[in-house]
Amino acid sequence: MFELETDLRIIKWMSGSIFMAGILSLAAYQVGVPSGYGKHTKKSKFTVDARLAWVIQECPSFFLPVLVTYSVGVENINFSNLLIISAFAFHYFQRSFIYPMLMNRMSTPLPLRIVFMSFTFTFINGYAISKYEAAHVSLPENWINSFQFLTGMLMWASGLLINIHSDHVLRNLRKPNEVGYKIPRGGAFEYVSGANFSGEIFEWFGLLIASNFHFPLICFSLSTSLTIGTRALFHHKFYLSKFEDYPKNRKAVIPFVL
């Protein structure tokens, strides 16, 4: 019992730190400091190949759920909780292994500090969410048939598809040997500048609803919204300043709102 209580306390502290990461991102946005990768990459002495960097920084949130599930035992985990863990891990499998394979070989290398920070984030978050779902909470046996669970999982799947499609649009903006920026069009980009970010935010709020609002997923969903939501705002400002013909009705991250 003591070990379980201690582990739960650690998980809550971990989740709290994940939420604080989002608050720091919001604070950075308020003073005009974007995250240091993508369009906003700053020169750094120590960098990592972009494709390798994405594998390194995202894979903890795939491997840790797998390891936690194995250590707890599939037979000891409620099926609805197991689906929550699986959905979370599937996103990071796609982000860790499929997404990097599809990246342009000439993608800008990522600063080592960004890779380290991202690795730390996904390690802490991957453990907190998977261990909480596997060992510390059990959804009702019939939860899988509930309207809330089905709605949440539908949101998760829709958000994942939006995220993947938006990444596809961005990858194919330029033809081989082309340089410079272009206006992304099609899909959710017709409504928001950060369609890939919007899809991921929608995805995690869907999983949050499906989980019946478990604490680690509350912290993660809010943190993600603040972290990549502010990135979408920076992207939106960039596009507006870069292109005179940029669609005026397009929002940054929330269609018709923000």
3 state SS of 28: helix
| Residues with Cβ within 8 Å of residue 70, at least 6 apart in sequence | none
Does the pLDDT value for residue 207 go beyond 60? yes
| Mean pLDDT across 51-56 | 97
Is the four-CA dihedral 96, 104, 198, 12 of positive or negative sign? Answer: positive
| Residue range 77-131, pLDDT digits in tens | 999 999 999 999 999 999 999 999 999 887 889 999 999 999 999 999 999 999 9
What Å distances lie between residue 202 and 44, 74, 157, 241, 253, CA to CA?
Answer: 33, 28, 9, 27, 10
Residue in this structure with the two tokens 């984030």, named with its chain if needed? 121
Does the pLDDT value for residue 132 go beyond 60? yes
Query: What single string gives the DSSP state of each residue in 96-132?
Result: IIIHHHHS-TTPPPEEHHHHHHHHHHHHHHHHHHHHI
Does the pLDDT value for residue 189 go beyond 70? yes
User: What ranges do the domains of the chain cover?
Assistant: 30-139, 146-258
Output the pTM of the full model.
Answer: 0.93
